[in-house]
């Protein structure tokens, strides 16, 4: 079964896609936590950071560079933003397709609650 993000990458289900190249796709999060909330995903299905292989360094690097460019495009680069990759159950990962959140557009507060 393809992940929901694979189905977005292939165009099977709609999303607000803001970038797509041969390695990654970026689209707006359906439930945004900040004025800018974009997900950057590899086109190829990789379940998460723990499943990344050394040979996939190019796609991992591309995710960060695309996030940098999108942050500039969104006008949040100067004010600052946060890149988040949740991994596994304790990390709060809900969709088992590697994705990086780009969030910004308001002060984001401390990185983690200490509860
Ligand atoms: P995570 O908790 O890191 O796995 O984040 C999953 C994110 O995917 C959440 O922020 C969801 O709001 C987002 N999401 C789930 N389904 C969709 C979708 N169809 N289109 C856009 N974002 C989605």
Gap from CA of 66 to ligand 1 centroid (Å): 18
The tokens for 10 are 């292939």
Q: Which residues line ligand 1 (CB under 6 A)?
A: 4, 15, 27, 29-31, 39, 86, 92-95
The one-digit pLDDT tens for each residue of the chain (115 residues) are 999 999 999 999 999 999 999 999 999 999 999 999 999 999 999 999 999 999 999 999 999 999 999 999 999 999 999 999 999 999 999 999 999 999 999 999 998 877 6
* Catalytic entry in 19, 37, 97, 99: 99
Q: Whose CA is nearest to atom 5 of ligand 1?
A: 94
The tokens for 19 are 């970038």
Q: Exposed/middle/buried for 107, CB within 10 Å: 0-12, 13-18, 19+? A: exposed
Is position 37 annotated as part of the catalytic site? no
Gap from CA of 58 to ligand 1 centroid (Å): 23
- In the chain, the domains with their CATH numbers are 4-79+88-94 (3.30.428.10)
Residues whose CB falls within 8 Å of the CB of residue 54, separated by 6 or more in sequence, listed in order: none
pTM check: above 0.85: yes
Gap from CA of 54 to ligand 1 centroid (Å): 26
Looking from the CA of residue 15, the nearest atom of ligand 1 is 20
């Amino acid at each position: 079964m393809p992940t929901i993000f694979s189905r977005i990458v292939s165009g099977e289900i709609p999303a607000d896609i803001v970038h797509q190249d041969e390695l990654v796709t970026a689209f707006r999060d359906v439930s945004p936590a900040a004025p800018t909330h974009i997900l950057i995903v590899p086109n190829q299905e990789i379940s998460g950071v723990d499943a990344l292989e050394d040979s996939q360094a190019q796609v991992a690097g591309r995710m960060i560079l695309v996030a940098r460019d999108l942050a500039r495009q969104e006008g949040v680069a100067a004010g600052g933003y946060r890149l988040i990759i949740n991994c596994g159950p304790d990390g709060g990962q809900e969709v088992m397709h590697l994705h990086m959140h780009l969030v910004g557009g308001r002060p984001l507060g401390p990185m983690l609650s200490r509860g």
